[in-house]
Chain A
Amino acid sequence: GAGVSQSPRYKVAKRGQDVALRCDPISGHVSLFWYQQALGQGPEFLTYFQNEAQLDKSGLPSDRFFAERPEGSVSTLKIQRTQQEDSAVYLCASSFLRGDEQFFGPGTRLTVL
């Protein structure tokens, strides 16, 4: 079956531009997570959804970051007025239930020039 997919795989943005990153979780998975992975580092938690409810956004680094999952399936991570420090790989993961194993997508590599 299909795993978690993310698009685009690569995104180059000029500083100040807005970007939108998409995550398609595994069908039927209730929980969805976003992580940010800087070069040479481990992933860092950004936010968590249970169905369409965003239960935890404590990891979002600033109010320029916004995530949504309006129908409890596909999720979008939006970054407004991108800065160079936003350059990273953004990973999406989903799990069937809250405490279950998380399955990760391939990530979107964002480069802000």
Chain B
Amino acid sequence: GESVGLHLPTLSVQEGDNSIINCAYSNSASDYFIWYKQESGKGPQFIIDIRSNMDKRQGQRVTVLLNKTVKHLSLQIAATQPGDSAVYFCAEKSYSGAGSYQLTFGKGTKLSVIP
């Protein structure tokens, strides 16, 4: 079936460096993607989203890039801080005929920031 997945399960970066987390998706009909951050013992927290008609979107210290040609999504975190340590998920939003919509999550990448 359709799936959203990640290339790297773990990523360690030095504090102050930039981080790049990657995600591959297979549903070419997807039109909306979201990045979530999940800290230990907490639910996922929205970071940034992007529509399929965009290639890039920037937020505060974060940038999401979308390459529809190769069905690849990435999250860039600038000047990574210890508080960025968490598991990051990409998710795809899809609508069903039942009037519902749901998020399909990838497996996640654990980001560890080295002080």
Contact = CB atoms under 8 A, between A and B. Distances in A.
Interface of A: 4, 33, 35, 40-45, 48, 50, 55-56, 58-59, 91, 93, 98-99, 101-107
Interface string B20-59: 0000000000000000000001111110000000000000
Contact of B100 (A43, A56, A93, A102): A56
Contacts of B43: 4, 91, 93, 104-107
Q: How large is the interface on B (under 10, 10 to 19, 20 to 34, 35 or more residues)?
A: 20 to 34
Given A41-B108, A42-B107, A58-B96, A91 B44 contact: yes
A98 to B, nearest CB: 6
B46 A101 contact: yes
Contact of B107 (A41, A103, A106): A41
Contacts of A104: 43-45
